[in-house]
Structure 1
Amino acid sequence: MQRTFLSAKLHRVTTTAVELDYEGSCEIDGVLLDAVGLGAFEQIQIYNINNGNRFTTYTIRGKDNSGVISINGAAAHKVNVGDVLIIAAYGIYTEKELENYVPRLCYVNDQNVLTKISVNISL
């Protein structure tokens, strides 16, 4: 059997830009992409803490240490600059793979600078 589990999470990033007239995607600071283990063009789920919107898109690598979190294309209707987001990715794992499963959870400050990497939920 295969099961779907959280593989990566960027917790409480702040939206720095919304670009309606842009090919759809989410541009993310390259340092954050690397820290959380996401690749360019990887599918992600975005959860907007400010308004409850949830949507699927894919990543685009932004400039390292830029702090950029830009929501582009049609998804730009679901987010405002300054909105706080959770960006998550999921993986499909076999029972054997789950024996060594750990998610990669990344936390940032209000400037989208990485402050902590964990495998456990911070409460």
Structure 2
Amino acid sequence: MQVTLMKGKIHRARVTEADLHYEGSISIDRNLIEAAGFLVNERVDIYNIDNGARFSTYVIEAPGGSGTIGLNGAAARQAMVGDKVIIVTYANFDGDEARRFQPRIVIVDEKNQTI
């Protein structure tokens, strides 16, 4: 049997950009991508703490150290600059793997830098 667990999370990041006319995705600071164990083009679920919106898109890389959390295309309608979001990836595991697996959880400050 397979179970789905949280693989990685960036917790309470602030949206820094919202570009409706960009071809969809979420731009994430490369340092945060690496810290959370995300992959470029990986599907992420995004939970907007400020308005309750929940949606999915895929990761694109923004420059490391920039603090960028940019919602692009249709995702830009789901948040405003300054909103706090939780960005999560999931993975499937068999029972033994699931018991041993530890997700990567990244907590960020007001400028989207890891704490």
TM bucket normalised to smaller: over 0.9
Structure 2 residues without counterparts, runs of 5 or longer: none
Cα shift at 1:98: 1.4
Contact between 2:5 and 2:98, CA under 8 Å: does it hold in 1? no
Counterpart amino acid of 1:32? L
| 2:29–2:68 CA contact under 8 A, matched in 1 | yes
Within-5 A mapping of 1:66-85:
66-85=66-85
Query: Equivalent residue for 1:15?
Result: 15
Q: For 1:47 and 1:8, how far apart are their aligned partners in 2?
A: 14
Q: 2:5 — aligned with what?
A: 5
1:7 maps to amino acid: K
Q: Which amino acid in the other structure matches residue 26 of structure 1?
A: I
Instruction: Specify the SS of the correspondent of 2:100.
Output: coil
Aligned-residue offset at 1:99: 2.9
Runs of 4+ residues over 4 Å off in structure 1 = none
Cα offsets for 1:68-117 (capped at 9, x unmatched): 000000111111000000000001000121131111100000000011xx
Count, aligned residues: 115
Percent identity, please: 42
Match of 2:65, as an amino acid? N
Q: 1:53 matched to which residue of 2? A: 53
Moved more, 94-103 or 79-88: 94-103
Q: Which residue of 1 aligns with 2:42?
A: 42
Amino acid at match of 1:42: E
TM-score by length of 2: 0.98
**AA paired with 1:79?**
A
Amino acid at match of 1:94: D
Aligned to 2:112: 112
